[in-house]
Chain A
Amino acid sequence: MIQVFTPLFILLGAAVVTVVVDPLFRRVGFREGSGIFASIAFFFALLFLGVEALKPPKVIAYRIFGSESPLTASLKLDPLSLYLSMIFCGIGLAASIYSIRYMILERETGLDRYYLLLLTLIAGMMGVTLANDFFTLYVFWELMAISSYSLVSFRKWSWEAVEAGFKYLLMSSIGSLMALLGIALLYGLTGSLGFDALQASLSSGKGLAADLSLALIIMGFGVTAAIVPFHSWLPDAHPAAPTPISAVLSGVVIKTGVYAMLWSLFKVFSPSLYGFGTVLIGIGVLTMTFANIVVVMQSDVKRFLAYSSIANIGYIITGIGLAAYVMRNYPSEIGVAMLALTGALFHILNHALGKGLAFLCAGCYIVRAESRDLSELEGIGASMPATTSAFGIGLLNLAGVPPLSGFWSKLFIISAGLAIPSDGVMLTATAIFILNSVLAAGYYLWLFQRLAFKKKAQGNSRIKEAPMLMLIPLIILAAACILITIMLNPVLQFIQTALEVVLG
């Protein structure tokens, strides 16, 4: 039983071993050592997950300690957690390979801590998706949160990183506390923390306390998911981190918040009993609109990408909200809810790949041009064709240009929103969604045009292509974008089985 959780233990084990082996690597002058070691750990974790994903879908629960209810710590493995773990681990692998060369080029020290934190970060995120009760979830949640605070302020000599890290720490802690309060309320109401037990006892209404807990959980996890107005830490924190960490933060860490929200809302509170769909749609629409408006004028390439991550969270939350709304108001239209959730879950994957890729490419530009300012990066594409090609694929995927997979995930959410034409709420939300997609496509293409096709800015003439070791993860991610487009159906089938777990 315990073997199916091997990937989690590989990452945690590797984190411990990194600290031990890094001094040895350094002694022999092999500075790439710990990066390669961490990459291998990620690779094997991903391999195990992949093997597990190829097996027929099943749901496994495993109790770590404690007796049966009320207090038990247990893990689960189902297609949904497998799906998300693979995304997390994949982006982790790309970031880790990228870091090998990047961290040396940037003359960073303390690589043992860096890889330790990267490993625990991904392990924490995987743990969140594997948790089968709120206690375990919260433990892994904090593992993830603390690792990411530290990574944001990893460049502790930099004023920007320290300030960003502090903002992140403070605001995210408030979020964690709100979530904890919500969980505590649930425990008080039902006397248990296991998801299954909670679901059973919440199936009859629990009044105001349950509503309060619901609101607290949305807000608490929403801080990490960066929903407006709990997002304001993100535009500072994501750009301040070393670029591979930005890719992980923007690509996947915020999705952990989405997952925690999705799981607690759909699994613990049932959408047909608690009408949170409208609120989620409202939050999603507000989030995407605000972020998309703000992103247009950003002059820092990393801030640009960071804001657009908030917008994409808005798309995903809207998809989830539409599903909840349909399940509450049109219980017979379960197909529409499935479509919206498929779109949302698929968009998690597409955005992770696209945004991870875009950040890693931006990192290559920044390393070579030694600037994050878009006006100085203009026209750099001519000097770095390989990076720019990958960047283009990532941005087109994000912009949702057909036939790339990013187009399909948005299309699913939109077609779910249009499925019940008599409903004003859904129509309005979908209309705003479409307008936002148009605006987003506009600024992604504009960004690409400025970087790839504009005349070279002054002093860009001696810029070389990024080193091979940094290009490899770019190629992997770009290939993944295209591969998923080709293999749309198998991926969607997998998401469908994952959805069956959520919807029961």
Chain B
Amino acid sequence: MNVQPWINLAWLSWILPLIGALLTPLLAKVGEKVRDYGAVLFSFLAMLMTLQLLPLLWMDVEWPIHGGFSWVLVPGAPILGKIGAGMLLDPLSVIMANIVAVISFLIMVYSLGYMHGDPGLTRYWFFMNFFIANMLLLVLSDNLILMLVGWEGVGLCSYALIGYWYQDSKEGWLHYWVGEPPEAYPPSHCGMKAFMVTRFGDLLMIAGILILASTVGSLNFTELVEMGKNVPAGLQPLLPIALILILGGAIGKSAQLPLMEWLPDAMAGPSSVSALIHAATMVKAGVYLVARLFPIALAWSMSIPAALNFFYAVMWIGAVTAFISASQAAVSSELKKVLAYSTVSQIGYMMMALGAGGLTASFITGYVGSLFHLMNHAVFKAALFLASGSIIHACGSRFLRDMGGLRKYMPITFYSMLFAALALMGLPPFGGFWSKDLVLSATLSAGEYAVFLIGVITAILTAFYSLRMIGLVFYGSSREESREVHEAPKSMWTPYLILAALSLIIGLVAPMLEHGLERIFSEYLLLSEISKVQEVGAVSFVVPTASILALIIGAIPAYLLYVKRAKDPGEITSRHASLEAIRKFLFRRYYLNAFYYRVIAYPSIRLGQLLFSGFERKVLDRFNYALSSAACGVSNAVRKVHTGVLNHYVIGMGVGALILLLIFLIGGA
């Protein structure tokens, strides 16, 4: 088969939105309508390109399809010759690219209505398209360096779009800020925070990449498995270390413990941005990276057992994060923050599945479970965020206490959000049920019962906070001003209605999808020479039972408290001091956030100020000024040679000629 057309599609799918981003400022000169629709058009083109890749999944192709070129090819320069760029198409990248492109397009359409009339729209469209381009580059590139380019590109866009309302206006407090005092932050602060926190992970990741480059000698995903086996035995212990370091990057990007604190505050950005970047796509990059390294780590673990620690780390970090964030979501006072905690928690689920998968011979359950959950989550969480954007728009506040009884006024939003929330809770037959099932069975078949238990408890909490959110927003007494609240415009509700419907449709065809994914991936991953897999045993009834039980256990109190409003939860906590203490502990994010500020952020700033006034001003600057004035002095002295007098010049020339002649005649070439 000629692979070039497919590879070209892969290149185009990220280059087109990149062109769109670069054209945005020019289109803005033509007119606002042209700019807005132009931006949406380019994201549509990106989607068109990736959709054309989808048939590959059904075709009988030899995975992976790989095409690239060497940027620099020079004989005599062995290291330079390795610098190249290429696109890698395999089931993982094709599925990821389609999730990204399709959801991006829907969110771009939503933005037409949601962002209408905002003064900074040129910046908005630029960064949105730039984000889509970088995200697609991230998932389609064939080596770690090119992936890193996309990785940092999406990070930049995340920073710029979280701080989109960078004026930090006090009047917009109810809209644009995030958190309540003492943890209330303005948008520009949140953008910076996201950037700084992910930096820790990225640094570790770059260190890991450097170790791989120097030990394995290649960073190409297609070569890492094979070339890793040739690493001399003395250097082999470095490989698991490199994997763990790269995992650091994934942890930062996907907001896992201990680098999770940036994501809840990233909600200061527009809701469309939260939906696209901080729910559906960018935060999944870490999961994608782990899935990408999965076969490599698995293959290496055959000869280096320490590589299994990678999977243990992934699993435990995922499990603990899933629980912690779910518990925080249960007490949050802001609509979008509930969703943000829930995102962190659900990504923890995906990580948990991947990690557990790597620990069993039947790794396919965990792998597919994680990807399937990723797909489901992208769909329903995007729907939830987009709908929450409409609600915040309508209510004029991001706080749950300012909402309530909206069911009557915003029926389409209500049903969309309800469907998406049910998918999140994992109610059969919604998509979430099936993927949660796979995730939990992966932990069981790995024999990690503690992790399974954490997963079930998290499911209870998930059901609780999802229903709590629905109850607080749509049920209860409508507030006075709610009468003026009305449904969002069509361009806004269409995307999230589609996504909500999609979460149901995926659920209806889930068994088929699951089977298809398992077939594709077991064929593909076996190709990369991983030991033969035993077929999964008969599906036990333990997992679905546990999952549904968890759903019921979590939903009943939430239904009573927030939908039926049988009792006032505030009253309950005020009566029991211990409950109130727990609530506050959860609300303050286990005091992790405060801890980071106290122990890392503020001391670093103080240290920086000290170094600036003490070291930089007094030592470095003086050295630099001395250096530059020395350079100027030398320059001024030397340039006196140029007198401008021709005679001097010719004499200089003559002396030079004489010396050269002497060298040649005496030295005798």
Contacts and interface: CB of A to CB of B under 8 A. Distances in A.
Contacts of A233: 649
B69 A489 contact: yes
Contacts of B636: 297
Contacts of A279: 660, 663-664, 669
A235 B642 contact: yes
A412 B653 CA distance: 31
Given A174-B650, A211-B664, A215-B661, A488 B642 contact: no
Main secondary structure, interface of A, reads helix
B642 A338 contact: no
Nearest to B668: A211
A219 interface: yes
B664 A232 contact: no
B167 interface: no
Nearest to B75: A335
Contacts of A274: 669
A188 interface: no
| Residue among B635, B636, B657 with most chain A CB within 10 A | B657
Contacts of A415: 77, 79-80
B656 A229 contact: yes
B577 interface: no
A319 to B, nearest CB: 13
- Among all A-B residue pairs, the 4 with the closest Cβ atoms: A335-B76, A229-B656, A339-B76, A232-B649
Interface stretch (A47-55, A145-153, A164-172, A423-431): A164-172
Contact of A294 (B639, B644, B652): B639
Residue from A338, A419, A488 whose CB has the most chain B CB atoms within 10 Å: A488
Given A229-B656, A489-B70, A339 B77 contact: yes
A285 B664 CA distance: 18
A492 interface: yes
A293 interface: yes
Nearest to A337: B76
A83 to B, nearest CB: 16
Given A211-B664, A296-B632, A489 B73 contact: yes
Interface of A: 166-167, 170-171, 174, 178, 208, 211-212, 214-215, 218-219, 223, 228-230, 232-233, 235-236, 274-276, 279, 290, 293-298, 335-339, 342, 408, 411-412, 415-416, 419, 439, 488-489, 492-493, 496
A90 to B, nearest CB: 22
Contact of B656 (A230, A235, A412): A230
Given A167-B649, A170-B650, A293-B638, A342 B669 contact: no
Nearest to B79: A415
B638 A290 contact: yes
Interface in B637-669: 638-639, 641-642, 644, 646, 648-650, 652-653, 655-657, 660-661, 663-665, 668-669
Interface in B76-133: 76-77, 79-80
B566 interface: no
A295 B638 CA distance: 10
Contacts of A223: 653
Given A212-B664, A279-B664, A297 B650 contact: no
Nearest to B657: A219
Interface residues of B, number: 37
Interface centre among A178, A229, A339, A408 (most CB of B within 10 A): A229
B669 A275 contact: yes
A232 B669 CA distance: 27
A229 B646 contact: no
B600 interface: no
A274 B669 CA distance: 5
Contact of A167 (B639, B646, B656): B646
B73 A493 contact: yes
Contacts of A342: 74
Contacts of B656: 219, 228-230
A276 B660 contact: no
B505 interface: no
B1 interface: no
Given A232-B653, A489-B71, A297 B635 contact: yes
19 contacts: A166-B646, A211-B664, A212-B661, A212-B664, A232-B648, A232-B649, A236-B644, A279-B669, A293-B634, A293-B635, A293-B638, A295-B635, A297-B635, A335-B76, A337-B76, A415-B77, A419-B76, A489-B73, A496-B74
Contacts of B644: 236
B80 A294 contact: no
A308 to B, nearest CB: 13
A206 B641 CA distance: 38
B72 interface: yes
A297 B76 contact: no
A274 B664 CA distance: 10
A230 B653 CA distance: 5
Nearest to B659: A229
Interface of B is mostly: helix
A171 B650 contact: yes
B631 interface: yes
Given A211-B669, A212-B661, A232-B642, A416 B76 contact: yes
Contacts of A290: 638
B665 A212 contact: yes
Contacts of B660: 215, 218-219, 279
Nearest to A408: B72
A496 B75 CA distance: 9
A192 to B, nearest CB: 21
Given A211-B664, A212-B665, A489-B71, A229 B653 contact: yes
Given A214-B669, A233-B649, A339 B74 contact: yes
Nearest to A228: B656
Given A218-B660, A416-B76, A294 B649 contact: no
A86 B656 CA distance: 33
A488 B664 CA distance: 39
A212 B661 CA distance: 7
B655 A229 contact: yes
A338 B75 contact: yes
Contacts of B652: 229, 232
A198 B362 CA distance: 75
Nearest to A342: B74
A294 B635 contact: yes
A214 B664 CA distance: 8
| Most interface-central of B631, B642, B649, B669 (chain A CB within 10 A) | B669
A338 B631 contact: no
B80 A411 contact: yes
A298 to B, nearest CB: 8
Given A215-B664, A219-B660, A296 B635 contact: yes
Nearest to A213: B664
Given A211-B665, A415-B80, A492 B72 contact: yes
Contact of A208 (B642, B648, B665): B665
A295 B635 CA distance: 7
Contacts of A419: 76
Most A Cβ at <10 Å: residue of B72, B636, B653: B653
A416 B639 CA distance: 32
A276 B76 contact: no
Interface string B603-644: 000000000000000000000000000011011101101101
Contacts of A167: 646, 649
Nearest to B646: A167
Nearest to A489: B73
Most buried by B among A223, A294, A295, A493: A294
A339 B71 contact: no
Contacts of A170: 646, 650
Contacts of A293: 631, 634-635, 638
Interface in B390-409: none
B6 to A, nearest CB: 22
Nearest to A166: B646
Given A294-B638, A412-B77, 10 more contacts: A211-B664, A211-B668, A215-B660, A215-B663, A232-B649, A275-B669, A296-B631, A297-B636, A338-B75, A489-B69
A214 B636 CA distance: 35
